[in-house]
Amino acid sequence: MPVASIYIETHGCQMNEADSQYIADRAASAGYAVAERAEDANVVILNTCTVRDNAERRAYGRMGHFKSLKKAHPALKLVVTGCLAEQDRDRMQRIAPHVDAVFGTSELAQLGDAITRWREEFAATEVSEELALRIPIGGSPDCVAGAFSPLRGFVTVQRGCSYYCTFCIVPHVRGRFDHRPMNDVLSEAQQRISEGAREIMLVGQTVNAYRDPANGDDFGALCSSVAQIPGLERLAFISPHPKDFTREMLRELSQIPQLNPRIHLPVQSASDPMLRRMNRKYTFGQFMERVEWIREFFPQAAITTDFIVGFPSETERDFQATLDCVRTGLFANAYMFIYSKRSGTPAAHWEQVEPAVASERHARLAEAQNAVARAYHEGKIGKQFRALVQGVSKKDRSKLAAKTLDNVTAIVPQPPDYDERLYALEPWLDVRVDSAHVWGCSGTIVGRARRFPDRGLAVKPALINLLTA
């Protein structure tokens, strides 16, 4: 059968990344290759996000870009999935009639069936080089099978969320909690490990609220079971909810030697009136109690967080509480967002904070948190860390990007023996940190290893490092 190819573009969170991985797997089983450019594909998948207004606008913008491609190449199947597809299905079919199919987040299996069916329809690749050159569509492809892509295995443990934070669209578009049977999670994790995954990332909207539908086993039990899979080197998860961490669960997690020392604990605000209005289901005091438990069981762990600034009715005093919390240096890193109104959520109807005020607060918070993040990274200077290679740095093709166990980006010059296949086989880099930045660290590779527990083999530094040493 002639080659057919699929292009996948993913916007949004790790849930969407995991869903795109599922789509890529289904496509590969049906005989598709993954294309690096939409112009080269028979099927284009746009996996959308709607968590903020600009994500939504970007998705409609991309649909507009793909229109010209569809016009020039009518046999192309253009598919939209993800949260925006779930939320805006009718509107999308009205204002983007060139989209061939819309699949909500609960219809991934049907999406997989459709691309399998279409595979039969495609004759030889119909997209000419000429067409590709005339219509540069741009965008970043996902799930392109690079040498490093199997190293991290995303495994979805749960879909949806039942917590209804007043700012969040997720429960409205992804529905309430739907936990996967633990056995399914374990066999997928096992599969990823057999394909070369050095790290398994368990993904869920509120991952630590997980309950096995068969017997109610919780997230601690799930992680302990994943840790028993032979060959598992590292384990990580995203994104937990502070409310669902019990002391017992954290104690259980601390017994897992492969668990990465980074816990993401989204606080959103340090003001109780704000937390109440956000329906976060914890007070700031209860949040700090979880921090204490983490400190007790994971004394070396990096705690990272999310903030929303300018939530409806946020006063300067509320904001000051958040700023004071950041200035304590608690968070190694943070995602900081200005509140974005999502229609269909309660907070969209409330009195909004002036955009200029929200922006000014965001700038003050970012300045404070960036100083903390830089200081955290400075603490690594002169020390050596093991980090999992991610690939060639997007900003500088002569360098490699890697992630330390506490999720810090490390950028290192490619050593003289660099070879993609070799480094995919021996992907653990021993990195000596030379300098620190807000975004992470720069350093030098001094060793590399095939498996995480292995002793690193010495690596000669790049010439540029020798010159600057």
On whether the CB atoms of residues 158 and 237 are closer than 8 A, the answer is no
Which one of 6-14, 61-69, 156-164, 381-389 is the stretch in contact with ligand SF4 (CB under 6 A)? 156-164
> For ligand SF4, which is the closer residue by CB, 170 or 291?
170
Q: Which residues pair with 306 in a beta bridge?
A: 335
For ligand SF4, which residue of 59, 168, 197, 302 counts as binding (CB under 6 A)?
168
On whether the CB atoms of residues 278 and 337 are closer than 8 A, the answer is no
Q: Is 161 in the site for ligand SF4 (CB under 6 A)?
A: yes
What is the Cα–Cα distance from 281 to 418, expressed in whole angstroms? 49
Quote the least distance from Cβ 79 to ligand SF4, whole Å.
24
On whether the CB atoms of residues 380 and 335 are closer than 8 A, the answer is no
Q: Residues near 375 by Cβ (< 8 Å), separated by ≥ 6?
A: 329
What is the Cα–Cα distance from 389 to 198, expressed in whole angstroms? 10
E-strand ranges in 384-427 read 384-392, 399-404, 409-413
Quote the least distance from Cβ 31 to ligand SF4, whole Å.
36
- Residue 228: Cβ within 10 Å count: 9
The alpha carbons of the chain give a radius of gyration, in whole angstroms, of 23
Number of residues located near ligand SF4, criterion CB under 6 A = 10
- Residue 412: Cβ within 10 Å count: 27
Q: At what angle do helices 14-29 and 108-119 cross, to 10 degrees?
A: 30
173 to 212, contacts with ligand SF4 by CB under 6 A? 205-206
Q: Is 275 in the site for ligand SF4 (CB under 6 A)?
A: no
Q: Which amino acid is at 439?
A: W
Which one of 168-176, 333-341, 345-353, 433-441 is the stretch in contact with ligand SF4 (CB under 6 A)? 168-176
Q: Which residues pair with 443 in a beta bridge?
A: 433
> For ligand SF4, which is the closer residue by CB, 280 or 403?
280
For ligand SF4, which residue of 153, 171, 204, 240 counts as binding (CB under 6 A)?
171
> For ligand SF4, which is the closer residue by CB, 162 or 255?
162
Estimate to the nearest angstrom the gap between the alpha carbon of 344 and the chain centroid.
Answer: 25
Q: What would the x/- binding string for ligand SF4 be over residues 111 to 150, using CB under 6 A?
A: ----------------------------------------
Q: Is 440 in the site for ligand SF4 (CB under 6 A)?
A: no
> For ligand SF4, which is the closer residue by CB, 43 or 170?
170
Which one of 163-171, 376-384, 400-408, 452-460 is the stretch in contact with ligand SF4 (CB under 6 A)? 163-171
Provide the binding-site residues for ligand SF4, judged by CB under 6 A: 161, 163-165, 168, 170-171, 205-206, 241
